[in-house]
Amino acid sequence: MAAGYGTRLNDLNDCPKGLMKIDNRTIIERNLENINSVKEINKIIIVTNKMFKEQYDAHLKNTNFNYEIILNECVKRGNGYSFYLSHEGISTKKFALIMSDHLFSKSFTRKASLGDGLAVDADPIYYDYDDATKVLVDSEGYVKDIGKNLLKFNYIDTGFFILKNSIFTVIEEIVNKQENIGVSDIIKNARISTVDVTGCFWIDVDAQNDLKFARTHSKKYLTL
């Protein structure tokens, strides 16, 4: 999902966060190559906004991936609405959902891609506590609650999901009931399992300090 405008990166927000470079390679390039090394990618669906559509198109044309770009013309409705729009291009029973501004190491991708549900981390190597989405996972490994303001939680949401196509039934019900939809709203209403990726590196590149950390430590963490 890549429909946000990246406003917290200030002077860099004319470039989509997914196309920012870490050690001379874009975030999206790194993530797609890592996923493809574990499970062959049949198709990539990018949900983005009018401002960034041409940039993503130009970048993906230079890859060997089959892709489709879906335009979100109602970005204000939230990232859950972007998720909903992706159903137009998904025909497989299972698919991976990732946030375009999240960067994942090779070991993270291997573990998360072979599991089911939301990849969660009990002790992230790097994260912004206030901005992080917290997750309360029950004794059976399912998401019991999720949100940025949770007081009781045992994991952090990494922004990486392996999901079943049937989740779109749940999403459609929410879209018809409320205007603003977050991915967290969807996860709360669907019984989603989790994959524990604690110990594997990932980072949400949402602000300047995140970008600086990713660029400074890329060789140390991303190749693992």
pLDDT value of position 140: 97
Q: What is the pLDDT of residue 19?
A: 93
Positions of E strands within 52-93: 67-71
Contact 144, 137 (CB under 8 A): yes
Predicted pLDDT at 196: 98
Nearest by Cα to 45 from 20, 25, 71, 64: 71
How many Å apart are CA 14 and CA 110, to the nearest integer?
A: 32
Q: pLDDT digit string (tens) for 174-219?
A: 999 999 999 999 999 999 999 999 999 999 998 889 999 999 998 8
Helices (H), 61-98: 79-85
Mean pLDDT for back-to-back runs of 10 residues, the chain (224 residues):
58 77 91 88 92 93 91 93 94 92 93 95 95 97 96 97 95 95 94 97 92 90 79
Residue 44, CA distances (Å) to 3, 32, 149, 173 in order: 15, 9, 32, 25
Phi, psi of 141 (to 5 degrees): 90, 15
Number of residues written out for the chain:
224
Q: Domain limits of the chain?
A: 7-221
Tokens 């992230």 -> residue:
124
CATH of domain 7-221: 3.90.550.10
Q: Look at residue 14 in the predicted model and tell me its pLDDT.
A: 76
Q: What pLDDT is stored for residue 5 in this prediction?
A: 58
Q: Which pTM was predicted?
A: 0.90
